[in-house]
Chain A
Amino acid sequence: MEQSFLEFQNVSFQYREDSPIVLDDVSIQVNQNEWVAVIGHNGSGKSTMAKLMNGLLSPNEGYVYVDGLLLSEENIWEIRRKVGMVFQNPDNQFVGTTVKDDVAFGLENHGIPREEMVKRIAHSLKAVGMEEYEDHEPHRLSGGQKQRVAIASVLAVAPSMVILDEATAMLDPKGRKEIMHTVNQVRQERDVSVVTITHDLNEVTLADRVIVMNKGNVWFEGTPRELFEQKEDLQSIGLDIPLVSKFAHELKGLGLDVKTQPLNHEELMDELWTLHSTT
């Protein structure tokens, strides 16, 4: 059994007493070193869920456990050190006047001694491939570069989990690729869990597990492959599947025996040529 790092137990949340319920009795978990993608419509409660994970919000009902600790006022700062978060807008989370200062910000907050800080800044900027930009001001960086700095800032604090809340949404395709590449790399090198909230279905295929949110409920939980097999159901709540999956579904519709649900072009190709060789 995998060790769970974060757990929601029957979490419900609403912003005000008279406002609608945003999360309704949600129970989920994220395991150590697991990559979980969260998708769902705008307003389905994804960001709210993310903010409950590091105590930016606290649940009206239910419990949030992080690394075995029940989230509370007392341990909130410890938990924020363990759970890092990257937001959507690259500009509005860049606090420092330079790249170096921005990475330092989190370390300064946690009272890390200066010598240690210098080491960690160098190390985490290297991890995201931004070591040559140490002294750059944010307005001289691209959106993708700023987001990589945001990731470095989070990594510098040595968290056990990183949440990316639509961190690629405002980026161009190149920026998105950079970020996904970075996240992949980081996950191979460090022992961190990753939660990516996204609308990009290609990002979803990279994850170990997908959670689909719909109207404040967990609508689906499973592997990307399992998810994209349920084409009709997913489309019934207004979400779509990647082109490759669609193609596979079409082939199945034509009576071809496509066995496993392909997640990318390579898998589709494999599926196709083995199909041909068996018939």
Chain B
Amino acid sequence: MNSSMVIGQYVPGDSPVHRMDPRAKITIIFFFVIVVFFANSVASYGSLALFALLSVGITKIPPRFIAKGLKPVWFLIIFTFILHLVVTKEGNVLFSVLGFDVYSGALIQGVAISLRFFLLILITSLLTLTTTPIAITDAIESILHPLKKVKFPVHELALMMSISLRFIPTLMQETEKISKAQASRGVDFRTGPIKERLKAIVPLLVPLFVSAFKRAEELAMAMEARGYQGGEGRTKLRELALRKVDYAVLVLFTFVIIAVFLTRA
């Protein structure tokens, strides 16, 4: 089992982006995603792209990791681009390919939408690349904290997420073990017709589910034995704290937003 699958996309590092409070990162990404839809000029796109690329640069994460994160969406980006070329009919005809007229407006729109897409994916993957899943969980718990007033089970949700994170590798190891055991008996769910493969997966899933339930029961018992009684009166080891770097980046990002709105066409 490769370890990258286990820890998700996270690439350890010591850059300012890594060290930022995950809440600050999530906040920035949240507004970035909104603001991207307001960009409509070279300068406004430029400011956002500059911010995104600068952030990526600071992380010192090798580009191949970032490319890996973008891999599944390249297709989508290119598809949108081509779709725009074909469908949009604004501006002058620039050239024709295979009988299709490509308009200048289409080219501009295609580039703009693809760029928008690209920036969205880039900035959101930056979160998972520089933040451990557990830190993201902590941030979500902290951000959702006000919802406790309306009885939303914030603590329980966060605990569920962190336990899932804890058990993903364990269950993956187990899946691998069971699938090897089944494979050694000649069960094959990697090749063959889909119906056969689905059938072959049942003897894999059943023991996995049985064991998962047993684990859950034992874990609940162990948690109770260790004094777990819900979120009330609990203290926390991992503390989130906004620091200078967070404020600095937040201020910088505010300037970017202002720049985007000032340079809109």
Nearest-CB distance from A78 to chain B (Å)? 9
With A87-B221, A95-B219 given, is the CB distance from A109 to B234 under 8 Å? Answer: yes
Give the secondary structure class of B's interface: helix
User: Beyond A87-B221, A97-B134, A114-B235, is A105–B166 a contact (Cβ under 8 Å)?
Assistant: no
State whether B166 touches A96 (Cβ < 8 A).
yes
Range of interface residues on chain A? Answer: 35 or more
Asked if B222 and A92 sit within 8 Å, CB to CB, the answer is yes
**Residue among B134, B214, B228, B233 having the largest count of chain A Cβ atoms under 10 Å:** B228
CA–CA, A106 and B222, complex, Å? 10
B165-195 with Cβ < 8 A to chain A? 165-166, 169-170, 173
State whether the Cβ of A94 lies closer than 8 Å to any Cβ in chain B: yes
Name the residue of chain B whose CB is nearest to the CB of A121. Answer: B237
Q: Is the CB of A81 within 8 A of B219?
A: no
Given A87-B221, A94-B166, A97-B162, also A109-B237 (CB < 8 A): no
Is A117 positioned at the interface, with any CB of B under 8 Å from its CB? Answer: yes
Collect the chain B residues with CB atoms within 8 Å of residue A108's CB. 234-237
A207 to B140, CA, bound (A): 48
Q: A91-B170, A101-B134 are in contact. Are A107 and B222 (CB under 8 A)?
A: no
Asked if A109 and B227 sit within 8 Å, CB to CB, the answer is yes
Q: Does the CB pair A139–B173 fall under 8 Å? A: yes
B238 and A101 form a contact (CB under 8 A): yes
Does A104 reach chain B (CB closer than 8 Å)? yes
Verify if A153 is at the interface (C-beta below 8 Å from B): yes
| CB within 8 Å of A: which B210-233 residues | 214-215, 218-219, 221-229, 233
- How far, in whole Å, are A118 and B239 apart by their CA atoms in the complex? 12
A101 lies within 8 A of B237 (CB):
yes
CB atoms of A85 and B225 under 8 A apart: yes
Q: Which of chain B's residues have a CB closer than 8 A to the CB of A109? A: 226-229, 234
- Is B223's CB under 8 angstroms from A92's CB? no
Contact status of A97 and B225, CB under 8 A, knowing A108-B235, A111-B233: no
Interface string of A122-158 (1 = CB under 8 A from B): 0000000000000001110000000000000110010
Partner of B218, one of A92, A114, A137: A92
Given A108-B236, A112-B235, A139-B173, residue A91 in contact with residue B225 (CB < 8 A): no
The residue that B225 contacts in the complex, of A54, A94, A96, with Cβ under 8 A, is A54
Interface residue? A80 (CB, 8 A): yes
Chain B residues with Cβ below 8 Å from A85 are: 222, 225-226
> A20 in the interface, Cβ–Cβ < 8 Å?
no
Contact B229–A77 (Cβ < 8 Å): yes
CA distance A122 to B219 in the complex (A): 24
Contact status of A93 and B222, CB under 8 A, knowing A106-B227, A108-B236, A114-B237:
yes
Chain A residues, Cβ within 8 Å of B162? 96-97
- Give the docked Cα–Cα distance between A84 and B133 (Å): 30
Task: Indicate if the CB atoms of A153 and B226 lie closer than 8 Å.
Answer: yes
How far is A153 from B226 in the complex, measured between Cα atoms in Å? 9
- Taking Cβ atoms with an 8 Å cutoff, the residues of A that contact B are 54, 56, 77, 80-81, 84-85, 87, 89, 91-98, 100-101, 104-114, 117-118, 121, 137-139, 153-154, 157
Contacts A87-B221, A105-B223 aside, 6 further interface pairs with beta carbons under 8 A come to A85-B225, A94-B166, A105-B228, A108-B234, A121-B237, A139-B173
